[in-house]
Amino acid sequence: MLNKHIVRRDSDHHGSGGLADLHPILRRVYRARAVTDSGQLERSLEALLRAEELTGLPAAVDVLAAAVSAGQRILVVGDFDADGATSSALAVRALRMMGAAFVHYVVPNRFEFGYGLTPEIVDVAAQWRPDTLVTVDNGISSLAGVEAAKRHGMRVVITDHHLAGNTLPNADAIVNPNQPGDRFPSKNLAGVGVIFYVMLSLRARLREQNWFRDNGHDDPNLARLLDLVALGTVADVVPLDRNNRILVEQGLRRIRAGQCCPGISAILQIAGRSRSRLVASDLGFAVAPRLNAAGRLEDMSLGIECLLTDDPDHAMDIGNRLEALNQERRSIEAEMRDQAMADIERLHLDADSAGLPPALCIYDDGWHQGVIGILASRIKERLHRPVIAFAPGADGEIKGSARSVPGLHIRDALDAVAARHPELISKFGGHAMAAGLSLRRDDLDAFRQAFESEVRSHLSSDDLRGVVYSDGELAAEDLGLHLAQLLRDGGPWGQGFPEPVFDGVFDVLEQRIVAERHLKMLVRPASGGAALDAIAFNVTEHAWPRQPSRVRLAYRLDVNDWRGQRNAQLVVEHMEPCEK
């Protein structure tokens, strides 16, 4: 925490005439996020972007409508993260709701097949004898996999949101807002958002063909699937632009009302989260990690089954298995993180050291493939620079998971390294802030040098400093439950539309460690006012070694629900001692 510094957001240059009816603090927050009119905060389904500009959508609907109408066998091929799991569950549920005669799914086990529609997973898919294969949250780079599916006589529809390579696969249809030439206004749809749009358009086509009426099927209400859309969108940490905020908010409303699948209800109950007061961060920090644990340690089929079952008891059974896997994942992660940080600190390097490279490539023979993404993320947060964590793969290869910082598009950086050193990287793919790659173990040192050189060309020393962005100071009279609830309701907050953070100076009246790693405090604004609770999660002795009487805090003003009592609480993002 001490290696960061606070930067206040600039909201003065944005007009606010269209927000005049809002609380002044909310106006300030929204202006800093370039929201100047209440219309930009509209969260009804009527305000969703239309699907027509998605390139490839008519062709995809042609294939799927023909498959449904003819009673063909449809197989969904997913991915082993939460976006892939929700995408798979949504596709299967939607197609069954529309009367498809045979719908099933397969999801690659990350330890056997790796990511995407590989020829090997096509061989597995072929055992189901599908006529039509639909990818969700993958496929845009699966040239060989699509060719393998074609040799098996399958028609292939790719739905994805990852960045495309120089060559597109030879599929019957590709729906991806990030493919070249696509005119869909939002490029930030998660994989689950893409397949949701495809299913909406398929329903419209089947309506036109009188499929539901002629075959005795109810016209399906696909809004029932928005809980899955919200979960996958938040879990994949895509930017919450206006369109994604609508999708997430609508899903949250359904979950709060108890209109969600039993699997999500079960995980929320196990995680101790209130369904009726759910916010987007609950999906990201409580539901998604438990769902992801299946793909990280075993097989994501377990997570997909949790989202597909309509039996609450079965959902609870699976939820408990996911909880056990998540506890195991946390234990493995903690051991790997402690080892990695110890290795770094033995070199007497920290985020303020001139000797710390601009990017870190770390590897250990004993690390777990399923946890290296979380490890890279944790170390990136600690040291404020791009991190790639590697674990052993098969046949002399190692697999890496990369996390980036603002200013470096990590997938483009890997692309540049691959272009300059085509012999180094076996395969890679990803987003601006996260990516995956494979390379030979013997090439790690050469890759490390090439990657550090590429990062150095993009990031300055200032870019490598940890920054906490603040929405300014709050007066003592604003530090209460009323504003805390307004801020909670003002979202959904998330990537690209960050939850408000404020800063100020406080006197520390009490402090203690709770649950072995969280710092609980009682603080009072230095300018005077009432005392209130504050908590800093996951505080280490290294990050916070002293017990000062006055601190500068960067914090979120949140609502703390505890044993039926609701109070305002500061959730501390950063703290530093200051003089009285």
**Residue 503 token pair:** 């800063």
- Tell me: the pLDDT tens digits for 221-256? 999 999 999 999 999 989 999 999 999 999 999 999
- What span, in angstroms and rounded, lies between the C-alpha atoms of 499 and 492? 8
What phi and psi values does residue 189 have, to the nearest 5 degrees? Answer: -60, 135
Per-domain residue ranges of the chain: 47-114+174-321, 347-464, 469-577
Percent of the chain surpassing pLDDT 90: 71
- Tell me: the pLDDT tens digits for 303-317? 999 999 999 999 999
pLDDT at residue 16, as a whole number: 60
Rg of the chain's alpha carbons, rounded to an integer?
24
Can you point out the beta strands (E) in 404-517? 425-430, 434-440, 466-470, 502-514
**Dihedral of alpha carbons 350, 353, 354, 355, sign:** negative
pLDDT at residue 1, as a whole number: 45
Distances (CA, A) of 298 to 80, 122, 294: 10, 20, 5
Of the pLDDT bands very low, low, confident and very high (cuts 50, 70, 90), residue 539 is: confident
**Is the pLDDT at 258 greater than 90, yes or no?**
yes
- Tell me: the pLDDT tens digits for 171-195? 999 999 999 999 999 999 999 999 9
The HSE-up count of residue 29 (CA atoms within 13 Å, CB side) is: 24
8 A C-beta contact, residue 255 and residue 227: yes
Identify the burial level of 463 via C-beta atoms within 10 angstroms of its C-beta, where 0-12 means exposed, 13-18 middle and 19 or more buried. Answer: middle
**Is the pLDDT at 580 greater than 80, yes or no?**
no
pLDDT at residue 547, as a whole number: 67
Three-class secondary structure of residue 12 per DSSP: coil
- Tell me: the pLDDT tens digits for 415-471? 999 999 999 999 888 778 888 999 999 999 999 999 999 999 999 887 888 889 999
- Tell me: the pLDDT tens digits for 413-425? 999 999 999 999 9
Averaged over 385-400, what is the pLDDT? 93
What phi and psi values does residue 123 have, to the nearest 5 degrees? Answer: -60, -40
Among the listed ranges 140-154, 522-536, 558-572, which one has the minimum average pLDDT value? 558-572
**Is the pLDDT at 351 greater than 50, yes or no?**
no
DSSP percent split of the chain into helix, strand, coil, nearest 5? 40, 20, 40
Q: Which CATH topology does 469-577 take? A: OB fold (Dihydrolipoamide Acetyltransferase, E2P) (2.40.50)
Of the pLDDT bands very low, low, confident and very high (cuts 50, 70, 90), residue 4 is: confident
- Tell me: the pLDDT tens digits for 56-90? 999 999 999 999 999 999 999 999 899 999 999 99
What does 316-381 look like in DSSP terms, one character per residue? HHHHHHHHHHHHHHHHHHHHHHHHHHHHHHHTT--TT-TTS-SSEEEE-TT--GGGHHHHHHHHHH
- Tell me: the pLDDT tens digits for 127-167? 999 999 999 999 998 999 999 999 999 999 999 999 888 89
- Tell me: the pLDDT tens digits for 23-47? 999 999 999 999 989 889 999 999 9
Q: What CATH number was assigned to the domain covering residues 347-464?
A: 3.10.310.30
Q: What CATH number was assigned to the domain covering residues 47-114+174-321?
A: 3.90.1640.30
**Is the pLDDT at 297 greater than 80, yes or no?**
yes
pLDDT at residue 17, as a whole number: 65
pLDDT at residue 544, as a whole number: 60
pLDDT at residue 179, as a whole number: 94
The answer to whether the pTM exceeds 0.85 is: yes
Identify the burial level of 151 via C-beta atoms within 10 angstroms of its C-beta, where 0-12 means exposed, 13-18 middle and 19 or more buried. Answer: exposed
Identify the burial level of 472 via C-beta atoms within 10 angstroms of its C-beta, where 0-12 means exposed, 13-18 middle and 19 or more buried. Answer: middle
Contacts of 255 (CB under 8 A, 6+ apart): 227, 230, 264, 265, 268, 275, 278
Angle between helices 301-308 and 288-297 (to 10 degrees): 140
Contacts of 270 (CB under 8 A, 6+ apart): 290, 316, 319, 320, 322, 323
- Tell me: the pLDDT tens digits for 489-525? 999 999 999 999 999 999 999 988 887 778 999 999 9
- Tell me: the pLDDT tens digits for 354-374? 568 999 999 999 998 888 988
| Terminal-to-terminal C-alpha distance of the chain | 20
Q: Of 435, 433, 431, 438, which Cα lies nearest the Cα of 162?
A: 431
**Look-up of token digits 């598009």:** 409
Q: State the average pLDDT for the chain.
A: 91
